[in-house]
């Protein structure tokens, strides 16, 4: 069974600074002092070729593509999918393929410019 783990994007109320923090399914913090959760991103149970964990809303690239793909949850298929900047969906590659070829280059919140259509 895959580990249930999340990453939260927090924003402080005094200076608007944003930062990421990981937590388990039972450790969701909600409000921490002067920080608010902006987004909850679920770990998809896979890593890229450098061993970096991949979460929902992360952007991944493959050597055969010249554009980033966003990791999303698709309610219709009840699973994680990849979406390009134009909105086209594709199936999630196997765990082995992701571990051998994928590169986690960021996420849609920290790097929105990577999804701009050129």
Check residues 91 and 34 and name the one with the higher pLDDT.
91
CATH superfamily of 5-115: YopX-like domains (2.30.30.290)
- The per-residue pLDDT for 81 is 95
- The per-residue pLDDT for 4 is 73
| Rounded-to-integer distance, Cα 7 and Cα 79, Å | 18
* Per-domain boundaries in the chain: 5-115
CA distances in angstroms from 76 to 23, 72, 79, listed in the order given = 27, 12, 8
Check residues 8 and 93 and name the one with the higher pLDDT.
93
In percent, how much of the chain has pLDDT > 70? 70
Contact 54, 71 (CB under 8 A): yes
User: pLDDT for 9-64, tens place per residue?
Assistant: 666 655 666 666 665 544 455 555 555 566 778 899 999 999 999 999 999 999 88
CA angle 96, 82, 46 (to 5 degrees): 35
**Residue-averaged pLDDT of the chain:** 80
- pTM beyond cutoff 0.75: yes
- The per-residue pLDDT for 48 is 94
- The per-residue pLDDT for 27 is 47
| Rounded-to-integer distance, Cα 62 and Cα 11, Å | 31
């Amino acid at each position: 069974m895959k580990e249930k783990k999340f990453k939260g994007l927090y924003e402080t109320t005094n200076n608007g600074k944003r930062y990421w923090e990981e937590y388990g399914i039972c450790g969701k913090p909600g409000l921490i002092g002067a920080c608010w959760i902006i987004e909850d991103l679920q770990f998809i149970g896979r890593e890229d070729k450098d061993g970096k964990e991949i979460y929902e809303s992360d952007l991944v690239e493959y050597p055969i593509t010249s554009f980033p793909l966003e990791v999303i949850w698709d309610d219709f298929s009840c699973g994680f999918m990849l979406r390009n900047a134009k909105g086209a969906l594709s199936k999630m590659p196997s765990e082995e393929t992701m571990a051998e070829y994928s590169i986690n280059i960021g996420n849609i919140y920290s790097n929105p410019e990577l999804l701009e259509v050129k």
